[in-house]
Amino acid sequence: MKTHDLTSLLEAMFHQSKEMILFVDRHGEIVYMNAEAEKTLDLSDYDRNQFINICGHCMGMAASGDPDCTTCFLMSKEKLTFQVYMRTRYGKRVTYIANFQQIDPENNISVFTLNPLSELMKQQEFEHQKLLTQRIIQAQENERKRISRDLHDGVTQELLNVLLEMRLFKYTKDREELDEKIEDSEEMLSHLLDYIRNISVELRPASLDDLGVEAALKTHFKWLQKQYGILVDFNTNLNKKRYRPEIETVIYRIIQEAAFNAVKYSGSDEIMVNLKEAGSYNGIEIHFEIEDEGAGFLMGAEPKGSGLGLFGMHERISSVDGELNIDSEPGRGTKVEGYIPVGERIV
């Protein structure tokens, strides 16, 4: 081990540390503080008396919500990782993660260290972002798997069947038999056409671009009914009006997602969807509402699926400056509502 003086190392740490380190006595008088603390808790705003006591800077602990002094850390010998509000040199209230520990029982001196919470939050945010990205990649991969399977199982297989059938044509001498084979192939091809059309509509309906959101939704709800046996009560006053493509896409995708959630999780046989254009003092707005009277869920509970659906809905709506609100209660059903400012229509 290199011979370094521990005292000098500790001193260097004390002065250079990026966390605030303060030594206080049992009344909260500050005995020493490091440069970071001096920089953050500036004395210029306060008179000297205030400055020498920690209570002049501390705004209470943040156990649950409001700052609170009833269980002050000064009264304990040791208190680890708690939240505390401090007043900084600009008079701002900042949250810190603090540790408080008595180090000299004889003189009743304790060390008080503070780390800004925002740094910690940044780390958490980063971790969260990473997790989210992983999930999005996973969802993307699943979607590709689904499309690939649809193409392989449906399209490739059927095409192969037709191909085999057609190869037999040239060996079929009997006219009647040949006619039958041709008819069979025709049938297979028409099924295949149907199948491909279905895949393509599921991915993104052409009617959304060609005919607008109202027509696309109507087709989608018809499909929902055929696929899952769900009735959709669709009310709209859009009357074939058109809006900017990104707005129409957002409306379509959000309503689609909310309706899907209702189909998947509500257990209800019927969904109500309202889509209305309304004027407000700052222009035209589109209001939408997707409601079911099914199982509902506890707001804030762990999501049943990936949780990406709700995330995507919020992301989409904020991309067009709209607002989205979800209201649910177990046993009472779920209501998703929101609006999007559209500026102007497209004629």
CB of 231 to other proteins, least distance (A): 7
Q: Is 69 annotated as a binding residue?
A: yes
CB of 104 to other proteins, least distance (A): 59
| Chain residues that interact with other proteins, rule: CB under 8 A | 142, 153-154, 157-158, 183-184, 187, 190-191, 194-195, 198, 225-231, 264, 269, 304-305
CB of 347 to other proteins, least distance (A): 37
Q: Which is nearer to other proteins, 18 or 197 (CB)?
A: 197
Q: Is 16 annotated as a binding residue?
A: no
CB of 158 to other proteins, least distance (A): 7
Query: How are strands ordered across the β-sheet holding 270-280?
Result: 231-236, 270-280, 283-292, 333-343, 323-329
Q: Which is nearer to other proteins, 80 or 160 (CB)?
A: 160
Asked if 287 and 278 touch (Cβ cutoff 8 Å), the reply is yes
d(Cα 291, Cα 192) in Å, to the nearest integer? 36
- Look up residue 334 and give its two tokens: 């779920």
Q: Which is nearer to other proteins, 135 or 276 (CB)?
A: 135
Q: Is 119 annotated as a binding residue?
A: no
Phi, psi of 46 (to 5 degrees): -125, 160
Question: CA dist 317 to 75, 149, 249, 266, Å?
Answer: 49, 31, 10, 23
DSSP bridge partners of 233: 272
CB of 146 to other proteins, least distance (A): 8
Q: Is 280 annotated as a binding residue?
A: no
Asked if 252 and 213 touch (Cβ cutoff 8 Å), the reply is yes
Q: Which is nearer to other proteins, 122 or 145 (CB)?
A: 145
d(Cα 212, Cα 210) in Å, to the nearest integer? 6
Q: Which is nearer to other proteins, 229 or 300 (CB)?
A: 229
- Look up residue 262 and give its two tokens: 């209702």
Angle between helices 245-261 and 213-228 (to 10 degrees): 20
Q: Which is nearer to other proteins, 224 or 340 (CB)?
A: 224
d(Cα 69, Cα 71) in Å, to the nearest integer? 6
Element (H, E) at 162: helix 157-167
CB of 196 to other proteins, least distance (A): 10
Angle between helices 245-261 and 308-319 (to 10 degrees): 160
Q: Which residues are annotated as a binding site for [4Fe-4S] cluster?
A: 55, 58, 69, 72
Per the annotation, binding residues are 55, 58, 69, 72
